[in-house]
Structure 1
Amino acid sequence: MSSSRHAIATAEPEILEARSFPAPSQVPHWVDTGRSRGFGIASYLEIPFMHKRLIAFCTLIGILAGWFAILAWPRTYLSEAKLIVRVGRENVSLDPTATTGSTLLFQKTQQEEIVSVLEVLSSRQIIETVVDNLTPAAILDGQLVGAASQEQAVTDEGSLGDQVLRSYRSVQSSASKSLQKFLLTAGVKESLGDRELAIMKLQSSLAIHSPRDSTVIVIDAKAKTPTMAQAIAKEVTASFLDQHLMASHTEGSLEFFETQSAEVEVQLNRLVEQRSDFMQERKIVSIEGNRSLLQDRLTGIDRDLVIASGELEQAISEINDLKAKIEEADDEIVSSKLAGSNPTWSGMRQQVYELEIQEQELAARSTGDHPMLRVIQAQLEGARKALAELDSQRVDENTTPNPLKMKLREDLQLQQTRVAGLRSMVETKEQQRSEMEQRIDELLDGEEKLTETDRNIRLMDASLQMLREKLEEARVLDELNSKEISNIHVFQPASFVERPVSPKKPMLGAGFLCLGLMTGLGLSFLREGASPTLRTSDDIEFQLGIPVVSTLPAMRRMRTPRLKDQQLMRQKCQALVSEVLLSQGNRSRLHGRSLGVIGVDLGAGASTLAVNLATVSSTDFNMKTMLVDADNRQRSVSKRFGLNGSPGLVELVGGHASHDECVQRADNVAVDLVASAADNCDAVLTSGPAEIVQALQAYQHECDLMVVDLPAASDPNQAIALAQHLDCVLVVVESEKTLLAAAERLLSRLADSETNVVGVVLNKTRCYLPRVMRGFVHPRV
């Protein structure tokens, strides 16, 4: 047995574990594309590490979404007030009035009293009182009017985050209003007033409860701002105390209001001092004085303008009235009347007198329906009419110009003169008013910075006045009830907590972080499951049904690989040569074997594998090896060994060079090389595969192993036809780059040409698992 045969027979390479695959000469079962993609535990564990950038990106997006959610999520603040229900006069204890008269032996249990207090606190009357005191607008907006103005002023000068948050809230408010309008239009929601909506919202934001086996009543109020939450809790407490005081005629809030009044007064004094310091620092002395003076002048001008306008309207009305009176008055009037003597009138007057006497006599003797009486009355009426006509004819009248009409004309002229003067005065006053308003506007520009402080002072003063009024009411009630203390005690006033209870930032941030992480993992597994490429040996064996004879790791530096990478590649190639040669049925034919290496795509590493196989066969197995570069397009082997100036396979097949001229010896490697073509040769292999194989047979008889670097299957050439004339063929698949469809297409063409495919080499594999985990799972790479 020759030395090469002995090396092959005695070598103990890394043979892959036995697997039941179809024989190389048989048609593989990879054409069954309906198989499910196979993954081992190592493959599943590698997916998160392989797509760590996607997972990190999704996690970052989740963190950013969580940050935005934390930023945009409406804040909810909680204010807590606690009341303690002590033993009162209701159960005949410390209340002295219970023994002043006839006593009814009736005692309520403590639990009944707690339930009664809870019912009163939860009653609609308390809610309505709080809404009326705080105004429905404040309840619906979730913040007090003064606090809203301050917050708006601070937000207007805030950072970019505040501006984004304000824009988001504006868009959210517009969307909510549009939705409310749509629901109202569709009839899904009833139209309610602001007061009723405020009551409903306040009922949902209040939580009143009592711990078990305790006399403490806890009032929890939630709102958008801590000030509003405190105001609601404080207002509910005050309203309940007032209602309880009126219902039970007890008092216990005097000290509370005294304390609150003192605190508010201290705060008010502090604000006044701050305002004074502010004015002293900026040397502001007469802004209010000037404003008051200008306002007084403006008021005087307005008053004069109103008076002048009223007088002008009155004068115009008087002119219209005088004109109407002048038109109605007569130009002349009767100055004197003279009555003359007339015998006819005297006779008629005597006749009337006689008829009146007759009427009186008949009326005295008979009834009103007597015919004679009616005749006399008719004659009397006619005589009286005739007498009246004669009386008007006997009077002589003298006329003269009407002095009243002349007086009206004089008054008309006076009023017209007055109207002209008033109109001039009105124009003058209006001009003065415009000038004064301009001066006031200029003055107001200088006091904008004092507006906020003045508003706070007014609010604090109003609060102080309200507390003093409550204090006076408490004092009066305390005097009326003999200064007795109520059984309800506020031992914890409404708290002011600046930390919101919602959202839960750690929980929300963790939720979005987990959401981003899970989204990244899901996308990673989805991307890996839907990937059209081949990554692991399990993918190839499950999808293509053909054995993977070796897996080669990716090298960082292909030109100058590291020593460790060289050793690993050498071991892999030793195992591959041994398995390919020992896996064939005819082991007696160990001379003149031909092995083709073909890549599914360009850059799969088929040329590098061919070079390493030839080198290992010659160096480690003492086989006379010849390496043939049949890829006349890429010419990777020729470039690797610097054979581009030598004649090659193209010249040999074309008859332009002899066999000896085409054979070259590689430096430092005992391998005979046949280049693809010379540099000055642009021709391609146009001869048939049989002619190429016939040209190579002369070399094949002179060597133990001929390794042929075939062109990539993606490059149009005669690779498939040439491969069927070789003894065996290795298909090189680049991990994560080679498409499943391309590999299926190549293997289908090889199977149709009855090419002996001994297996697939998975090249440029990467192990993404950390070194700590590799020892536990032993991934197959």
Structure 2
Amino acid sequence: MAGQALQRGKPRLASVNSAQVQTKPETEDEIDLVALLRTLWRGKWLIMLCAVAAMTAGVYYATQVAVPKYSASTSVALQVQAPQMVDLDSVMSGVSTDDASMNTEVEVIRSRGLLEKLVAELDLLQDPEFNIELRPDDGLSLGSLLAPVLGREETVLPAAETQKAALIDTVDRLRETLGASVQRDTFILNISATTEDPRKSARVANTLAELYIEDQIAVKFEGTENAVTWLSERVTALEEELRQKEDQIARLRSESELVSPEALEGLNRQAKDVRDRLSELEDQAARDVARLQELRAAFEASDFGTLGRLANDGTLRQLVTRLEDGESGAGELVERRAETVIARAESDLERTRSQVTALETSLGRLQSQIEAQGEELAQLQQLEREAQATQTLYETFLARLKETTVQRGMHQADARVLSIATPGEKVEPRTARIGALALVLGLMAGAGIVLLREATHSGFRTSEDLEGQTGETVLGQIPKMPIRKRGQLIPYLNDKPTSAAAEAIRNLRTSVLLSKIDAAPQVILSTSSVPGEGKTTTAISLAHNLAGLGKSVLLIEGDIRRRTLNEYFEKGAKAGLLSVLTDKVAIEEAVIRQENYPVDVLMGEKSTVNAADLFSSEAFKTFVERMRTRYDYIVIDTPPVLVVPDTRIIAALADAIIYTVRWDHTPRAQVSEGLKQFRTVGAEVTGLALSQIDPKGMKRYGYGGRHGAYASYGQGYYDA
């Protein structure tokens, strides 16, 4: 029944494994957190060892290797928009309140110019902490090691360039040790220095604060001097410009007639009067012309009455009356008087015209004079305005110059030292922090090693894993026996018949005998993938256990290439397998039997014949069939299947094949390839034996509580 169960279990196992393989791609991206934690727990001692080692190294570095650093800090309070003793905002003002200005002051403190002054003040070029050229050469620098390889020669720089390069490097290293920051919601700057000497740190911080304040005063003084120089130049230039404009005004007044707005206004009034008089005279001239034309018309018409009336001449009217009265000689008198009247009218017209011409000439002269004096007045007014503007600028700059001159020597810094630095406190290395960080890194490294070891591990630790990977039944799980030499195996089996290993061999025996439904296997083959997996130990132990049933057992050494059985037994054989196959000796003479090992042992024998050819011979087949009639069970210890083909040849004559897999050692690929080798020749492996199991290792990997003899509940059933 048990055999039927085992036989029925194999295909079911194969189907389960096939199902696992089919569903694997669907879950391959998932992470089994429980398995991950289990793996970490199994490697807890390694993780703890790595953590302790890393923490020890970190503490050693912090206390013995690392150079201690000490930090000191001084506080500087800024006076925001401080009032000047003289109102001179345009020349120098206080620090602004915006963040940009505060951050600018921080950069000023860390500026190269100020740090160069600090280097000179404290003579830091002679300090090896900042000037690495003064440090002793340990001869292990990267440049010195690569120089011979690269074939480079050291370049010798001139003294001035060397000094300049040393200053640049010193300032760079000094800047790395300095810190400047603004206290939140205040106008206070904190200046810190971190060096290898607590007093040096305080000295550097205090000196830098003093240099910063002195630099502020120097900047203001320089600004004042520049302002004085510039204002002096501007005042001198404005004074000369003002003098030139005043000379131009005086020269224009002296070269021109009386030029003033009032005089120009008088000329304009005079010109208006002339224009009015001219207009009257022109009207008068027009009237005189019309009157003269009327008089001439009346004269030509001999209408002396009308002529007298038009001329309003009383004498002519009297002569006309006398002419009308018929006085003799009156006509001639009338004509002469009429001519006289016309001549007088013509004379009046000429006089009026002369006056018009004279007034026109006078008006033209006045117009020219008005235009000339208007231009000169405009030019004079322009010069006066420019002179006035220059005068205003001159007075303003002169006043600024006097104020700036008074400001000399009265400058105050926009900052003051609020608290000086005291000898610094140790800030590096922080032993506790380094130790804690090293501990965390050690834990991470240990966990990484454990996970890497688990990821790269390819052996089998449980029968379930072995069955799931191969699809074959695990017939037995054999613990590692507490022996150091191969010769101690048989005494151990005799002395510890109830040990865990002995019971495991009995379980293996039972599984093998029940593996066939019709009849128990008689020829049992023991093999493995590669040497050193315990197949020979399994074969010897199984033969010993079968003999314990009162059966006759023959153990054949099929691994005739290595021949290791003589290391397990006290007395050697006089003849071996080859001698029996060639009928040189009888089987009774070739086998050996020890008192403490109730099994006939037929050892291998050195031969020039190829082992594979030997086992393929009809002689070997006939020998195995003959031994079936003489012994109840025949156990054959064969070579590893991946090394030589002998095992696959012998497998054709075997009833059962036990494939031994070393616990936590044999790679999965080798086991799969070994089983594949059997399938290629049509040989069916009866089952697997997981050998050399380490109980402590099982517990370490977290499997000790679930696997029979290696569980805590099984300790009472077995001898140690």
TM-score (norm 1): 0.48
Using the TM superposition, name which of 537-546 and 757-766 deviates more: 537-546
Following superposition, the deviation at residue 758 of structure 1 comes to 1.3
For residues 151 and 124 of structure 1, the distance between their equivalents in structure 2, rounded to whole angstroms, comes to 23
**Residue 577 of structure 1: aligned partner:** 509
Structure 1 residue 81: Cα displacement = 1.3
Q: State the structure with bigger RCO (CA 8 A, min sep 6), 1 or 2.
A: 1
Structure 1: give runs of 5+ residues left out of the alignment. Answer: 1-8, 92-96, 102-110, 157-161, 173-177, 179-191, 250-479
Q: Which residue of 1 aligns with 2:117?
A: 133
* Partner Cα distance (1:575, 1:153) in 2: 78
- Quick check: 1:208 aligned with 2:137? no
Matched residue, 1:616:
545
Q: Give the alignment of 1:612-651 within 5 angstroms.
A: 612-619=541-548, 621-642=549-570, 644-651=572-579
Aligned residue for 1:497? 424
Q: Deviations over 1:541-575 (max 9, x none)?
A: 34433233223233352433677797121011111
Paired residues of 1:597 and 1:729 also in contact (CA < 8 A): yes
> Is the Cα contact below 8 Å between 1:644 and 1:678 reproduced in 2?
no
**Residue type of the partner of 2:115?**
V
* 1:721 matches 2:649: yes
Shift of 1:597: 0.7
Match status 1:751 vs 2:676: no
What is the CA–CA distance in structure 2 between the aligned matches of 1:242 and 1:676, rounded to whole Å? 103
What SS does the aligned partner of 1:219 have?
A: strand
Q: Following superposition of structure 1 onto structure 2, how do residues 298-697 of structure 1 map, counting pairs within 5 Å?
A: 490=417, 492-497=419-424, 499-501=426-428, 504=430, 506-508=432-434, 510-511=436-437, 514-515=440-441, 518-519=444-445, 521-530=447-456, 537=463, 540-559=466-485, 560=488, 567-586=499-518, 589-590=519-520, 593-619=522-548, 621-642=549-570, 644-671=572-599, 673-677=600-604, 686=614, 688=616, 690-697=618-625
| Partner of residue 237, structure 1 | 209
Q: CA deviation at 1:611?
A: 1.2
User: SS state of the match for residue 426, structure 2?
Assistant: coil
Shift of residue 601, structure 1, vs aligned partner: 2.0
Distance 1:603 1:90, change over 3 A: closer
Q: Structure 1 residues 19 and 207, CA, compared in 2 at 3 Å: closer, same or farther? A: farther
In the alignment, which residue of structure 2 is the partner of 1:708?
A: 636
Residue aligned with 1:670, SS: strand
Task: Name the structure 2 match of 1:469.
Answer: none
Aligned pairs for 1:261-272 (under 5 A) are none
How far 1:648 moved relative to its partner?
3.9
Q: How far did residue 50 of structure 1 move?
A: 7.5
Please tell me whether residue 80 in structure 1 is matched to residue 80 in structure 2: no
C-alpha distance in 1 between matches for 2:544 and 2:503: 12
Secondary structure at 1:148 match in 2: coil
The alignment partner of 2:686 has SS state of strand
Which AA in structure 2 matches 1:753? V
1:351-394 CA distance string (max 9 Å, x none): xxxxxxxxxxxxxxxxxxxxxxxxxxxxxxxxxxxxxxxxxxxx
Deviations 1:701-752 (A, max 9, x none): 3444322222332553532111122111001123455344443333222112
Distance 1:746 1:772 in 2: 29
Q: Kindly tell me: are residues 58 and 577 of structure 1, through their superposed partners in 2, closer, same or farther at Cα, counting changes over 3 Å?
A: same
**Distance in structure 2 (CA, Å) of the matches to 1:170 and 1:228:** 32
Task: Tell me if the contact between 2:615 and 2:649 (Cα under 8 Å) persists in the aligned partners.
Answer: no
The aligned counterpart of 1:220 is 192
- Structure 1 pair 131–715 and aligned structure 2 pair: CA distance change class (3 A): closer
**Please, what is the CA RMSD of the aligned residues?**
6.0
Partner deviation per Cα, 1:263-283 (whole Å, 9 max, x = no partner)? xxxxxxxxxxxxxxxxxxxxx
Q: Structure 1 622/242 Cα, relative in aligned 2: closer, same or farther at 3 Å?
A: same
Work out the CA distance in 1 between the residues paired with 2:569 and 2:530.
22
CA distance in 2, matches of 1:604, 1:119: 74
568-577 or 193-202, larger mean C-alpha shift: 193-202
Q: Could you say if the C-alpha distance between residues 20 and 518 of structure 1 is closer, same or farther in structure 2, counting changes exceeding 3 Å?
A: farther
Partner of 2:694: 766
Offset from partner CA, 1:207-253 (integer Å, 9 cap, x none): 232355x787533345676566434421243245557889999xxxx
| Aligned partner of residue 422 in structure 2, secondary structure | coil
- 1:770 and 1:532 map into 2 onto residues whose CA distance is 16
SS at match of 2:11: coil
Secondary structure of 1:583 counterpart: coil
> Alpha carbons of 1:51 and 1:697: their partners in 2 closer, same or farther (altered >3 Å)?
farther
Please tell me the residue identity of whatever aligns with 1:598: T
The one of 124, 134, 151 equivalent to 1:144 is: 124
- Over 3 Å counting, the alpha-carbon distance change for 1:505 and 1:89 in structure 2 is same
Q: Is the contact made by 1:597 and 1:730 (CA closer than 8 Å) also made in structure 2?
A: yes
Matches within 5 A, 1:28-67: 45=38
What is the CA distance between 1:41 and its match in structure 2?
A: 6.7
C-alpha separation between the residues in 1 aligned to 2:433 and 2:466? 44
Structure 2: which amino acid aligns with 1:612? Answer: S
Q: Is the 8 A contact 2:58 2:434 kept in 1?
A: no
Q: In structure 2, do the counterparts of structure 1 residues 34 and 756 end up closer, same or farther at CA, with 3 Å as the change threshold?
A: same
Relative to structure 1, is the Cα distance of residues 117 and 740 closer, same or farther in structure 2, using a 3 angstrom cutoff? closer
| Unpaired stretches in structure 2, ≥5 consecutive residues | 87-94, 147-151, 153-164, 222-408, 711-720
Give distance in 2, aligned partners of 1:198 and 1:153: 13
Counterpart CA distance in 2 for 1:682 and 1:750 is 27
Report if the CA contact (8 A) 2:180-2:189 is conserved.
no
State the match for 1:104 in structure 2.
Answer: none
Specify the alignment match of 1:22 in structure 2.
11
Partner SS state of residue 22, structure 1: helix
How far is the alpha carbon of 1:616 from its aligned partner?
A: 1.8
Partner residue in 2 for 1:333: none
Q: Does the residue aligned with 2:568 lie in a helix, a strand or coil?
A: helix
User: 1:638/1:34 Cα in 2 relative to 1: closer, same or farther (>3 Å)?
Assistant: farther
Residue 536 of structure 1, CA deviation: 5.3
Q: How far did 1:626 drift?
A: 3.1
Aligned-pair distance for 1:531?
5.0
CA contact (8 A) 1:599 1:731 kept: yes
Q: Supply the distance in 1 between the matched residues of 2:701 and 2:547 (Cα, whole angstroms).
A: 38
Report the 3-state secondary structure (helix = DSSP H, G, I; strand = E; otherwise coil) of the residue aligned with 1:122. Answer: helix
Q: Match of 1:628, SS?
A: strand
Contact 2:535 2:637 (C-alpha < 8 Å) held by counterparts:
yes
Question: Shift in Å at residue 613 of structure 1?
Answer: 0.9
**C-alpha separation in 2, matches of 1:153 and 1:195:** 12
Larger Rg: 2
